[in-house]
Amino acid sequence: MRLLTYLFLFSFIGVTAQYNGNSFTMTHGQMELVYYDAPTVGSPYLDDMYKTGTTIISNNSETKRLMRYNAFSDEMEFLSKQDKPLKLLKKENIVVELDGKTYKVYPYRYKGKKAKGYFNPLNEGEVVLYLQPRKKLIPAENIEHGYDDIDPAQYLNDFNYYLKKGDNSLEKIDLGKKDILYVLRDRHDELKTFIKENDLKLRKESDALQVIAYYNDLAVN
């Protein structure tokens, strides 16, 4: 993927334009506007390669196909029998198993609007921690004059965590004691003791999962 960045050189008179195949120059007397092609670092995909995945519809019908997940656009892509890239319908009754991960579709809110997205469940039980494996694009920096190199645009991980308790909706959290104990506040004292006795740091995913597993054991017993 390529992004356009630009350079302004001030001027006042006459207008001409020229395109050389890689950049576009517009001249207005001594004013010149030059567009540069800037490469993008990284990939919008968790893995660029298509791998064999399984789609499960309503816990019943299963289909195997070559797939990959676009973490920037939040789309599951697959190859048709004619090797044409297609997008899987984003429906809550369709589950994808790909590269050792499960992808489930849930409604959530994004920038104040309702949306549907893919989430990876990280455990089982009454309370489940979900990872939203998204990526963001950091634009290329505009150069200030013709002697600077362009800092390329780049795709970076923008992972988020959500907790789902029973039949409740997904609730976005920051990994840490404050958010997790707030959602699981009905067992606050027991969990706080468990965290202290085991010296857990809930900013770590593995430690957060230990606390959630302990909560689920308490709920069962």
Q: Where are the domains of the chain?
A: 2-41+140-156
- Token pair of 118 as six digits: 């893919």
What is the CA angle 83-86-89, rounded to 5?
145
For the chain, residues with pLDDT lower than 70 are 1-38, 111, 142-149
The confidence score (pLDDT) of residue 38 equals 63
The confidence score (pLDDT) of residue 99 equals 96
The confidence score (pLDDT) of residue 149 equals 65
CA distances from 146 to 11, 12, 19, 70 (A): 16, 19, 18, 35
Q: Mind listing the pLDDT tens digit for each residue in 153-168?
A: 899 999 999 999 999 9
CA distances from 214 to 81, 121, 162, 168 (A): 46, 17, 18, 19
The confidence score (pLDDT) of residue 104 equals 97
Fill in the amino acid letter for 90: K
The confidence score (pLDDT) of residue 151 equals 77
pTM of the model: 0.79
The confidence score (pLDDT) of residue 186 equals 95
